[in-house]
Amino acid sequence: MSNKSTFYVTTAIDYVNAEPHIGHAYQKIVADALARWHRLQEKDVFFVTGTDEHGKKIEQSAKNANKATKEFVDENSEKFKKAWKKLNIKYDRFIRTTDKDHRVVVEQFTEKINKNKDIYKGIYEGLYCTACETYYTEKDATNLICPIHHKPLEKLKEETYFFKLSKYQKFLLDYYKANPDFILPKTRREEVINRVKEGLKDLSITRSSLEWGIPFPQDKKHVFYVWYEALINYYTATKEKGKEKFWPANLHILGKDNTWFHTVIWPAMLKSANLPLPISTFNHGFLTFNGQKISKSLGNTISPITLVEKYSSDSIRYFCLRHFPFGEDGNFDEQALTDRHNNELANKLGNLVSRVSTLAEKYNLEKAEIIESKQTIQNVSNHIKNLAPDKALDEIFKFIDKLNTIIQDKKPWETKDKKVLYQTANGIKDAAILLSPFMPETAEKISKTFNFEISLKSLNTELKISKIKKSDILFKKI
Other CB atoms within 10 A of residue 138 CB: 11
Q: What is the CA 165 to chain-centroid distance, rounded?
A: 27
Residue 286 · residue 256 · CB < 8 Å: yes
Residue 410's CB is within 10 A of a number of other CB atoms, namely: 16
Question: What are the residues whose beta carbons fall under 8 Å from the beta carbon of 147, sequence distance 6 or more?
Answer: 136, 140, 141
Residue 425 backbone class (left: φ over 0; alpha: ψ -120 to 50; beta: rest) = alpha
Catalytic residue among 86, 262, 293, 323: 293
- Long-range contacts (CB closer than 8 Å, 24 or more residues apart) made by 168-176: 168/200, 168/267, 168/268, 168/271, 168/272, 169/196, 169/199, 169/200, 171/268, 171/271, 172/196, 172/200, 172/264, 172/267, 172/268, 173/197, 175/267, 175/277
Phi, psi of 119 (to 5 degrees): -125, 135
Q: Which amino acid does the sequence have at 29?
A: I
Radius of gyration for the chain, computed over Cα atoms and rounded to the nearest angstrom: 25
441: exposed, middle or buried (C-beta count within 10 Å: 0-12, 13-18, 19+)?
A: middle
Question: Which residue in the list 4, 43, 67, 296 is annotated as catalytic?
Answer: 296
**Other Cβ atoms closer than 10 A to 144:** 12
Eight-class DSSP state of 124? E
Quick check: is 243 catalytic? no
Residue 375: CB atoms within 10 A of its CB come to 10
Q: Which of 4, 81, 85, 149 is catalytic?
A: 149
Q: Please return the burial class of 398, using the count of CB atoms within 10 Å of its CB with bins 0-12, 13-18 and 19+.
A: exposed
From the list 132, 222, 252, 271, the catalytic residue is 132
Catalytic residue among 24, 102, 383, 418: 24
Is 129 among the catalytic positions? Answer: yes
Q: Is 320 a catalytic residue?
A: no
Is 21 part of the annotated catalytic residue set? Answer: yes
Whether 149 is catalytic: yes
Q: What does the DSSP assignment read for 295-311?
A: -GGGT----HHHHHHHH
Catalytic choice (38, 54, 129, 222): 129
Q: To 10 degrees, the CA torsion angle through 26, 31, 32, 34?
A: 130
Q: Give the active site residue among 57, 146, 284, 383.
A: 146
Is 134 within 8 Å of 227 (Cβ atoms)? yes
Question: How far, in Å, are 285, 331, 333 from residue 293 at the CA level?
Answer: 10, 9, 13
Do the Cβ atoms of 280 and 311 come closer than 8 Å?
Answer: no
Cα–Cα distance for residue pair 31/37, rounded to 1 Å? 10
Q: Is 341 among the catalytic positions?
A: no
The answer to whether 293 is a known catalytic residue is yes
Positions annotated as catalytic residues are 21, 24, 129, 132, 146, 149, 293, 296
